[in-house]
Amino acid sequence: MFRIRTMNKISPLGLELFPRDAYEVASEIPHPDAILVRSADLHSIEIPDSVLAIARAGAGVNNIPVTQCSDRGVVVFNTPGGNANAVKELALASMLIASRDIVGGINWAASIAGRADEVPDLVEKEKSKFEGPELRGKTLGVVGLGAIGVMVANDAVALGLDVIGYDPYISVDAAWNLSREVERADTLEGLLAKADYITLHIPLSDTTKGLLNAEKFRFMKKDARVINLARGGLVNEADIIEALVSEKLGAYVTDFPSAELLACKKVICVPHLGASTPEAEDNCAVMAVKQLMDFLETGGVRNSVNFPRCKLDQRAPFRLLAANRNVPNMVGQITTILAGANINITDLINHHRDEYAYNIIDTEQQIPDSVLDRIRQVEGIIRVRSIQKI
């Protein structure tokens, strides 16, 4: 029986995936095998020694002490892409509200609610104030072609936009999923010079902080519309406000309001709604639960933030799972101990990521506790467990 402690309300669509006869799932389990969490702060609790894995139903892992977990061999999972469709839909809406002044128009229409019979005439007289361009035939520049960027680019193609993408680190999976209609930009500046709409879908880091700033706005078309649903810090706020006020840019839609941005009429502030759909919550919960079950039952690691991706089809009845520091001769030492105990290895995989490595070793014989203990004593080994094929 595996025991899962839930630290937040998790979508039932995810929880229902745990088979009742093999999993105990509750918020009050003292010595769980795994923790399922959304936003609860795990920095402030003692993570029990029994915990093998923590899965966050969401993308960021700031609420989890990842370094401490790595040192203890606790695998931390997140659910990248689980909210991609939710963000994509908001990006498409952002392009539309940055074109015609839909928000201003709706607010104005609400303001004439008490004008009774005058309303139809007023609407016809004032509507031109809110007009704006169509999307079809315009050029969209997508910066970052990951889970969200690829979806935005593909749907923008379907809406009749010409789409250019920029991502020097695009993954093979993303490249496979990207429409062939999307033109590749070799430089960010090349994309910025051509685009009528620019949408950012990249992580915030030391290198991307303030990526769009006064210097970049010089390359951009007058009236270009910038959409930032990724992270506020990617755009220099003072610079974009200046560019909008001096009419060097058309509009800025952001999911990250600040007092300064709210004070600027040409900024459309959305209250961080990117991932706020019930479907995104469901998707993240389902992904988190599937990843946890796979890890507990087979030792497979997928979408971990601290250990390498590692999967092996299990053909033999027994399996050894070992996390270790990424130093030489670890596999050699483990296999020597197994050979010394007359245990036949049928399959083995070892992957490393930064300072850590992970091994899946399939064997024909069950590995006795005494042998597991000897492996645990090897310097550099962090965690060892054995499982039997279900």
Ligand X SMILES: NC(=O)c1ccc[n+]([C@@H]2O[C@H](COP(=O)([O-])OP(=O)(O)OC[C@H]3O[C@@H](n4cnc5c(N)ncnc54)[C@H](O)[C@@H]3O)[C@@H](O)[C@H]2O)c1
Considering only CA atoms, which of 28, 67, 96, 26 is closest in space to residue 305?
67
Q: Is 329 left (phi over 0), alpha (psi -120 to 50) or beta?
A: left
Nearer to ligand X, 84 or 220 (CB): 84
Choices 200-208, 259-267, 360-368, 372-380 (CB under 6 A): range interacting with ligand X: 200-208
Report which residue type is found at 349. I
Interacting residues with ligand X between 318 and 347 (CB under 6 A): none
Residue 167 near ligand X by CB under 6 A: yes
Task: Count the residues of the shown chain that bind ligand X, applying the rule CB under 6 A.
Answer: 31
Nearer to ligand X, 284 or 360 (CB): 284
Nearer to ligand X, 34 or 229 (CB): 229
Catalytic residue among 72, 231, 351, 352: 231
Catalytic residue among 16, 134, 260, 355: 260
Nearer to ligand X, 161 or 185 (CB): 185
User: Any residues with CB less than 8 A from the CB of 118 and at least 6 apart, and which?
Assistant: 112
Q: Buried (b) or exposed (e) across 336-345, using 16+ Cβ within 10 A?
A: ebbeeeebeb
Catalytic residue among 115, 272, 302, 309: 272
Query: Is 272 known to be catalytic?
Result: yes
Residue 176 near ligand X by CB under 6 A: no
Residue 82 near ligand X by CB under 6 A: no
Helix H or strand E encompassing 375: helix 369-376
Interacting residues with ligand X between 18 and 57 (CB under 6 A): none
Helix H or strand E encompassing 14: helix 12-15
Q: Are 303 and 291 in contact (CB under 8 A)?
A: yes
> Exactly one of 37, 74, 140, 145 binds ligand X (CB under 6 A); which one?
145
> Exactly one of 52, 275, 292, 371 binds ligand X (CB under 6 A); which one?
275
Residue 164 near ligand X by CB under 6 A: no
Interacting residues with ligand X between 229 and 258 (CB under 6 A): 229-231, 255
Residue 59 near ligand X by CB under 6 A: yes
Sheet containing 53-56: order of strands:
23-26, 2-6, 34-37, 53-56, 75-77
Choices 31-39, 45-53, 141-149, 292-300 (CB under 6 A): range interacting with ligand X: 141-149
Q: Is 256 helix (H, G, I), strand (E, B) or coil?
A: coil
Cα Rg, the chain, nearest whole Å: 26
Nearer to ligand X, 55 or 145 (CB): 145
Residue 208 near ligand X by CB under 6 A: yes
Residue 305 near ligand X by CB under 6 A: no
Query: Is 319 known to be catalytic?
Result: no
DSSP 148-214: HHHHHHHHHHHTT-EEEEE-TT--HHHHHHS-TTSEEPSSHHHHHHH-SEEEE-----TTTTT-B-H
> Exactly one of 141, 146, 250, 299 binds ligand X (CB under 6 A); which one?
146
DSSP 109-128: HHHTTT-GGGHHHHHHHHGG
Q: Are 307 and 301 in contact (CB under 8 A)?
A: yes
Residue 191 near ligand X by CB under 6 A: no
Nearer to ligand X, 148 or 253 (CB): 148
Residue 83 near ligand X by CB under 6 A: yes
Q: Which residue is nearest to ligand X (CB)?
A: 146
Query: Is 379 known to be catalytic?
Result: no
Q: Buried (b) or exposed (e) across 316-326, using 16+ Cβ within 10 A?
A: eebbbbbbbeb
> Exactly one of 7, 51, 156, 174 binds ligand X (CB under 6 A); which one?
174
Nearer to ligand X, 291 or 298 (CB): 291
Positions marked catalytic = 231, 260, 272
Q: Which residues bind ligand X (CB under 6 A)?
A: 59, 80-81, 83-84, 87, 143-149, 166-167, 169-171, 174, 201-204, 208, 229-231, 255, 272, 274-275
